[in-house]
Chains A and B, each alone.
Chain A
């Protein structure tokens, strides 16, 4: 059983939890993800790893209340246990295994959208710790749903924050912010984009325009996360790849985002029905 040690609501619908999972924490690397199954009747939900502490034996996950299963995950309190937490899954970020010579020449811009800000954090942290120049853009619709602004500042060189409605920081989307930053003279060798599929699609297009290579982290559907089900199939450069074992990070220029977005919504009708009949477990006691 995997005990929840701490829990904070970062916004009314986004929750951060630190969970005890010693084996997983010992092996985790930036860019990887894990799967949580709250209880016997829950789904296996893939979540990015927002942080890990090998000594404590803990991993940090950030969840947004979307469907029935994520609602259940958020209902858990410290002291309670998830039935299953398994990982780390997927491949680590490219920079983790990059030769030092090459790494030294890089200047990273990490572009986060909404919940995607959480998995950007361990990447920025890793790059900063290894002395690689790294800037971060955090974008959100409004000020109320911005997360990780305080945590991010110390792990990057420049932090740029934007909101669609201008309620905090620069007024505009991540794409506008990126163009602005580049127009001010910042130069990057590599962008990493993590956020909703549609945001990754358009941010990749902006990167292409600006001539910056772009890596995206795909949050596809999956069941087992080990290559067994193939639900996570994505077309990358015209070839079918499994996001769970060959990803989750791919060259954004090569990803067929429209197909990926359609595939992500494959069970939307079934999930809407489940949500309708779902009995929320908040306050259910033990």
Chain B
């Protein structure tokens, strides 16, 4: 009977209104909505959602607690496997993971697992009390305070390790802080509290320390007494297209644009950070980062075009993000690829010269590869161009650590457990895989935490 109830719609800010502010788009469920939605879960004997979750949150078990109205109990179930539920409930691609394998989704709408997780996490923000084993005095260093580092540090701290996270920027959170905008993941209201929970486990976070510059992994291990190191330094280097005019004023990487707005809070009047959007912005790329940059530029008052060389069907961004972007008035210029940025006499962007594309044969990724239509060049007048073409890992650590090997793409080489080519050094997340998702990074952080625990037990 339960599955006769339609999926409970989540309340959202009106698109016209939210296009002018940085408040969160989605309001989330209230208690009644959450309990009603939770009642739709069939509690499958063999829950496919759990195995589809990179950290294997016991989904039917926490949903059962929600049905009972025991939100604290639900939070405790999630806390066993996830240290950032309020984050994951917001930014995970549930449609391809837990919700994507929900049995209800076969004929109808899957259970809104993400929105339920978010509700449970928000209800319990700052209240969680995970159990921490007695201190064992063994020091472990974690490089980077993004999702991989936070997940790894949380598990190790719960098992009694003395964990220090080293963060290069002035604020903890990694991509959650500098990359994902406020309107998708509120910083003070949500992220700050989840990071505080990690600190409460006893994890120390030292900001303003760049591993490979301020200190090296060698000195952490040889001089500061760290027995093992986890590298979760992410993929922070922006890619550019290498087309003429890319160094004109008004061409920015999505990283710069988003970091100025998110980490450096350019959107707030009381911060000194400058940011430049202008009247019209072209964002090049079709991933989540492109959507974030586009929707940020829109909120700063610009007309925004997404310029993407394939079609809407191939957009790598989450469906929900694309849907929100369209609702807010972002214009999608599909099958369009920039070939040159054209500048004015002062060296500022004036237009983006593009070529029309058509889809040809499928490539290795299975997506039909775009082919330029000869002679179809045209210009889009624009003041700003934002390049959102993906990122790659920073070589700062691999270059300064003896015995740490990388592959052709600059990613650290690590086995399934996260062990790198250097003894005692583990790695996970985007630093190993190249740019991926928050939850995969968390999963890798947890896997490496287990491997570090075993390594310490076997060697010390």
Assess whether A226 is in contact with B394, with CB atoms less than 8 Å apart.
yes
Interface residue B256 (Cβ < 8 Å from any Cβ of A): yes
**A80-88, A97-105, A176-184 - the one binding chain B:** A80-88
Assess whether B213 is in contact with A89, with CB atoms less than 8 Å apart.
yes
Assess whether B274 is in contact with A274, with CB atoms less than 8 Å apart.
yes
**Complex alpha-carbon distance, A132 and B173, angstroms:** 46
Assess whether A86 is in contact with B238, with CB atoms less than 8 Å apart.
no
Instruction: With a 10 A CB-CB cut-off, give which of B178, B250, B256, B271 has the most chain A CB atoms.
Output: B256
**A40-48, A136-144, A187-195, A247-255 - the one binding chain B:** A40-48
Provide the residues of chain A in CB contact with B107, threshold 8 Å. none
Assess whether B249 is in contact with A229, with CB atoms less than 8 Å apart.
no
Assess whether B259 is in contact with A270, with CB atoms less than 8 Å apart.
no
Assess whether B213 is in contact with A262, with CB atoms less than 8 Å apart.
no
- B170 touches which one: A44, A234, A245 (CB < 8 A)? A44
Query: A84-B170, A86-B168 in contact; A27/B249 too (CB < 8 A)?
Result: no
Interface residue B280 (Cβ < 8 Å from any Cβ of A): no
Interface residue B208 (Cβ < 8 Å from any Cβ of A): yes
Assess whether A229 is in contact with B259, with CB atoms less than 8 Å apart.
yes
Residue of A nearest to B169 (CB): A224
Assess whether A43 is in contact with B213, with CB atoms less than 8 Å apart.
no
Interface residue B454 (Cβ < 8 Å from any Cβ of A): no
Assess whether A226 is in contact with B276, with CB atoms less than 8 Å apart.
no
How far is the CB of B264 from the nearest CB of chain A, in Å? 7
Assess whether B207 is in contact with A84, with CB atoms less than 8 Å apart.
yes
Assess whether B168 is in contact with A224, with CB atoms less than 8 Å apart.
yes
**Complex alpha-carbon distance, A85 and B214, angstroms:** 11
Provide the residues of chain A in CB contact with B208, threshold 8 Å. 84-86
Assess whether B249 is in contact with A24, with CB atoms less than 8 Å apart.
no
**Complex alpha-carbon distance, A41 and B237, angstroms:** 25
How far is the CB of B272 from the nearest CB of chain A, in Å? 5
Assess whether A43 is in contact with B264, with CB atoms less than 8 Å apart.
yes
Provide the residues of chain A in CB contact with B237, threshold 8 Å. 227-228
Chain A, 142-166, CB within 8 A of any chain B CB: none
Provide the residues of chain A in CB contact with B259, threshold 8 Å. 223-224, 228-229
Chain A, 4-25, CB within 8 A of any chain B CB: 23-24
Provide the residues of chain A in CB contact with B271, threshold 8 Å. 41
Interface residue B270 (Cβ < 8 Å from any Cβ of A): yes
Assess whether A223 is in contact with B276, with CB atoms less than 8 Å apart.
no
**Complex alpha-carbon distance, A245 and B208, angstroms:** 16
Chain B, 145-199, CB within 8 A of any chain A CB: 168-170, 178
Interface residue A233 (Cβ < 8 Å from any Cβ of B): yes
Chain B, 269-308, CB within 8 A of any chain A CB: 270-276
Interface residue A271 (Cβ < 8 Å from any Cβ of B): yes
Per-position contact with B for A103-119: 1 when CB-CB < 8 Å, else 0?
00000000000000000
Query: A37-B170, A87-B210 in contact; A270/B275 too (CB < 8 A)?
Result: yes
Provide the residues of chain B in CB contact with A229, threshold 8 Å. 238, 253, 255-256, 259-260
Q: Please give me the 3 A-B residue pairs with the lowest Cβ-Cβ distance, nearest first.
A: A270-B274, A229-B256, A262-B347
Interface residues of A, Cβ cutoff 8 Å to B: 23-24, 27, 37, 41-44, 68-69, 72, 83-89, 223-224, 226-231, 233-235, 240, 245, 258-259, 262-263, 265-267, 270-271, 274, 278
- Identify 4 new A-B residue pairs, CB closer than 8 A, beyond the known A23-B209, A278-B272: A86-B208, A231-B256, A259-B347, A263-B247
Between-chain CB contacts (< 8 Å), 8 pairs: A27-B214, A85-B208, A86-B214, A223-B264, A227-B236, A258-B347, A266-B249, A266-B250
